Structure 1
Amino acid sequence: MTDTITEKAAHGVLLSEPAAGKVKSLLEQEGRDDLRLRVAVQPGGCSGLIYQLYFDERVLDGDAVVEFEGVGLIVDKMSVPYLDGATIDFEDTIQKQGFTIDNPNAEGSCACGDSFH
């Protein structure tokens, strides 16, 4: 987890500077400037809920959108309560590379780490 976090979001989700930088890099590689990063919570997984993290060109009714260093982060209205206070980070180490979500609302997770309750 990085110590450098950008401003607090209206929807309660933070995007770290490394995560925002990685998103920008991925969008530049794709040649797209019309996409935002969407994070959502969906039913599924062995603990009941799973995270969805993907690029989306749509903004739906009730979505909360906040900019972090030029990256739009969307959270749908149903996911906001589950994600309030969560931080999305990007790790790039010899052991692990990818986005991580540190969510204080998760009471527990499964052994695989992909779902929570």
Structure 2
Amino acid sequence: MTDTTLTTAAPVAAHGVGLSDAAAQKVRSLMTQEGRDDLRLRVAVQPGGCSGLIYQLYFDERFLDGDASVDFGEGVEVVVDKMSVPYLDGASIDFEDTIQKQGFTIDNPNAAGSCACGDSFH
């Protein structure tokens, strides 16, 4: 007798967010500092800021229904919720570590403009 039960996982959608090598290295480093290997970098767009929308980058162990995901290798996965995908399609995340600036930066071709502080966009 053969078992004809098929187990298929729902396909995971990909998003159009890119991650530079420097940003991937920093994500790996931060996850190592946290002592966890079950985290994903979640990138989201939320209402707020003086221009209307703000970026959120944080570690998340959850994978929510409708999330889009891209595995950048060596334990680095970037997840975007389904509502944020259209706002972030084509965006690239980099990490700068210079004497003038340290932190993640997002270059988003979908942003029509931003505020003077650079924390929000529309």
TM-score normalised to the size of structure 2?
0.87
Q: 1-side partners of 2:51 and 2:34: how far apart?
A: 34
Q: Deviations over 1:21-80 (max 9, x none)?
A: 000001111110000000000000000000000000000000011111320100000000
SS of match in other structure, 2:87:
helix
What secondary structure does 1:19 align onto?
Answer: helix
AA in 1 matched with 2:118: G
Structure 2 residue aligned with 1:83? 88
Measure, in 2, the Cα distance between the counterparts of 1:112 and 1:23.
24
In structure 1, distance between residues paired with 2:31 and 2:87: 27
- 1:62-73 equivalences under 5 Å are 62-70=66-74, 71-73=76-78
* Backbone CA RMSD of aligned residues: 1.1
- Aligned-partner SS, 2:114: coil
TM-fit CA distance, 1:10 = 2.8
Task: Confirm or deny that 1:17 pairs with 2:21.
Answer: yes
Classify the secondary structure of the residue corresponding to 2:59: strand
Separation of aligned partners in 1, 2:52 and 2:33: 34
SS in 2 for 1:23: helix
Percent identity of equivalent pairs: 84
Distance across 2 between alignment mates of 1:34 and 1:41: 23
**Which structure would you say has the larger Rg?**
2
How many residues matched?
109
CA distance in 1, matches of 2:104, 2:26: 9
Counterpart position of 1:46: 50
Q: Which runs of 5+ in 1 are unaligned?
A: 1-8
